């Protein structure tokens, strides 16, 4: 049995039909004998819509209040996904970043994770249930909600995987892994089956948007294997592995 952390981005949970599809995928992973914890982003363009509404009210909104607002998007998607899993006959529990034990520094809008103590998440997994965690957010020492900035859900997923001692962190996007170029623009782009942390960091530094830079740095520091794949297909994605790791040792490849 493996412990797998899965992260689903906004395009993967853009509407209720998408959420139901993701719920089925999570259940299928669990039925293979795995324990599953999930980190989820806000639905579709929810975060951008919230920012637009805030700026329509105040052109320079207070940073603390912006973070209070920004955490709402993931709360919606996490609870709906937990409901979708429950509706398909499997028990699931949703947690905010605070409830999942994400402690950050005091910077609003671009906080850094200081520690992750996912006691409640671990308890749910021990019960054989699915844990759903709101990505992109945590809490500072004042008790205020904070957000991690763009790409923060990827970083949340890796940090949770490390804290739980997961076997792999799966990052689900709208493309089948990491390609030599953007396949939505360059039809001849080729999928890269496996890549090192160093190479993916270089791609991220050069503007690749497949993975957030901080997410890869975190994974490299703790040697957490990543599997970047599409939530819209079951094709193999791209493995981001420590040097010398055997790709065949990674669970849930199919």
- 215 touches 200 (CB < 8 A): no
Q: How far apart are CA 45 and CA 52, in angstroms?
A: 11
Summarised one tens digit per residue, pLDDT across range 26-76 is 999 999 999 999 999 999 999 999 999 999 999 999 999 999 999 999 999
- Whole-model pTM: value is 0.95
> Residue 150 — pLDDT band, cuts 50, 70, 90?
confident
Query: Do the domain assignments include residue 254?
Result: no
Query: Do the domain assignments include residue 15?
Result: yes
Mean pLDDT value across the chain:
94
Report the CATH number that the domain containing residue 16 is assigned in CATH.
3.40.1160.10
- pLDDT greater than 90 at residue 202: no
Query: Do the domain assignments include residue 152?
Result: yes
Query: Do the domain assignments include residue 35?
Result: yes
Range name among 98-112, 198-212, 228-242 with the lowest pLDDT average: 198-212
Domain count, the chain: 1
| Residue 106 structural domain | 3-249
> What b/e readout covers 139-158, taking b as 16+ CB neighbours within 10 angstroms?
bbeeebbbbbbebbbbbbbb
């Amino acid at each position: 049995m493996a412990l797998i952390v899965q992260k689903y981005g906004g395009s993967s949970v853009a509407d209720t039909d998408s959420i139901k599809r993701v719920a089925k995928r999570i259940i299928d992973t669990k039925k293979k004998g795995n324990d599953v914890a999930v980190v989820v982003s806000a639905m579709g363009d929810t975060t951008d819509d919230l920012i637009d509404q805030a700026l329509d009210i105040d052109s320079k909104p207070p940073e603390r209040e912006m973070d209070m607002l920004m955490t709402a998007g993931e709360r919606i998607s996490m609870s709906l996904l937990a409901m979708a899993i429950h509706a398909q006959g499997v028990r699931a529990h949703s947690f905010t970043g605070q409830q999942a034990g994400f402690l950050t520094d005091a910077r609003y809008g671009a906080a850094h994770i200081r520690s992750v103590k996912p006691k409640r998440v671990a308890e749910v997994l021990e019960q054989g249930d699915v844990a759903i965690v709101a990505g992109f957010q945590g809490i500072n020492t004042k008790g205020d909600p904070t957000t991690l900035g763009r790409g923060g859900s990827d970083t949340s997923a890796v940090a949770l995987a490390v804290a739980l001692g997961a076997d792999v962190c799966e990052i689900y996007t709208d493309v089948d892994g990491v390609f030599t170029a953007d396949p939505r623009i360059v039809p001849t782009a080729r999928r890269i089956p496996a890549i090192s942390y160093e190479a993916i960091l270089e791609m991220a530094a050069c503007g690749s948007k497949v993975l957030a830079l901080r997410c890869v740095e975190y994974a490299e520091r703790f040697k957490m294997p990543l599997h970047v794949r599409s939530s819209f297909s079951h094709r193999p994605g791209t493995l981001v592995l420590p040097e010398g790791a055997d790709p065949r040792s990674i669970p849930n490849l199919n």
